[in-house]
Every structure is written in structure tokens, then in C-alpha cells.
């Protein structure tokens, strides 16, 4: 069974701090990893995708992938109250119509 484990939180950080979100996944053949942000009542929006080991930075967001340890993380620097949302990690692999395997989501609250 291909799965993703994600701490549901809630994670609370003060404004300006670094928020760290983590996921572990079950299968070494997984290929593509995604972080989505979802505001209440809205559909998910892509924050970051990562495919290779190491770090990938985009503005205040950094995704980190470690395939040997089977984890992927998302760092949010200089957290803002507008970052308060649920963050979902997901992964997929070649085959099975590339269905996304979703984590349960981590609720992040950034306190002013």
C-alpha cells in the first residue's frame, strides 16, 4: 500500500518565523513530490514540486527531498498570517495513471 504520513498539527508559529512541514512516504519507487496549500473551502493550489534529491527554493518556500530516507519537507521562511492554511503533501509514480497519493494535511497557523 503506497502511503504518505504527515503530521496533522496544528502547527503554530509566530509571524516572521520559519515553519517546517514534513512528510514521509512508503515507497522507494516514488518519483514526483508535491506540496499543496489549501485554504478552507477552496481547492488545493500547488506550492512546489520536487523530483530530485536536495533542496529546491522558490521565494520564501524551500522543498527538501531525501529519497534514501523517504521524506520530503517544506520550509516557509518569514511566515505571514496569510500562510495560515492546510498544507498537503502528495506523491506519484509512473504507472497507475499517475494518481496522486495524499497526506492528511498539516494545519498551519501563523500568529501576528
Partner 1 sequence: GAVVSQHPSWVICKSGTSVKIECRSLDFQATTMFWYRQFPKQSLMLMATSNEGSKATYEQGVEKDKFLINHASLTLSTLTVTSAHPEDSSFYICSARLTGRVDGYTFGSGTRLTVV
Tell whether residue 51 is a contact of partner 1 (CB under 8 A).
Answer: yes
Do 51 and 63 touch, CB atoms closer than 8 A?
A: no
* C-beta of 37 vs 83, nearer to partner 1: 37
Smallest CA-to-CA distance from 50 within 36, 33, 66, 67 is with 33
* C-beta of 15 vs 31, nearer to partner 1: 31
What is the x/- site pattern for partner 1, positions 14-33, by CB under 8 A?
A: ------------------x-
The burial of 60, by beta-carbon neighbours within 10 Å (0-12 exposed, 13-18 middle, 19 or more buried), is given as: middle
Query: Which positions lie near partner 1, rule CB under 8 A?
Result: 32, 34, 41-46, 49, 51, 88, 97-100, 102-105
Amino acid at each position: 500500500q503506497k502511503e504518505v504520513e504527515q503530521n496533522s498539527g496544528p502547527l503554530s508559529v509566530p509571524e516572521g518565523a520559519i515553519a517546517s512541514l514534513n512528510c514521509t512516504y512508503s515507497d522507494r519507487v516514488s518519483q514526483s513530490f508535491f506540496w499543496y496549500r489549501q485554504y478552507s473551502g477552496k481547492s488545493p493550489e500547488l506550492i512546489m514540486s520536487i523530483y530530485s534529491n536536495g533542496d529546491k527554493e522558490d521565494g520564501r518556500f524551500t522543498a527538501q527531498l531525501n529519497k534514501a530516507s523517504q521524506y520530503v519537507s517544506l520550509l516557509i521562511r518569514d511566515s505571514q498570517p496569510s500562510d495560515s492554511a492546510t498544507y498537503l503533501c502528495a506523491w506519484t509514480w509512473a504507472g497507475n495513471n499517475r494518481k496522486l497519493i495524499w497526506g492528511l494535511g498539516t494545519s498551519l497557523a501563523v500568529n501576528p
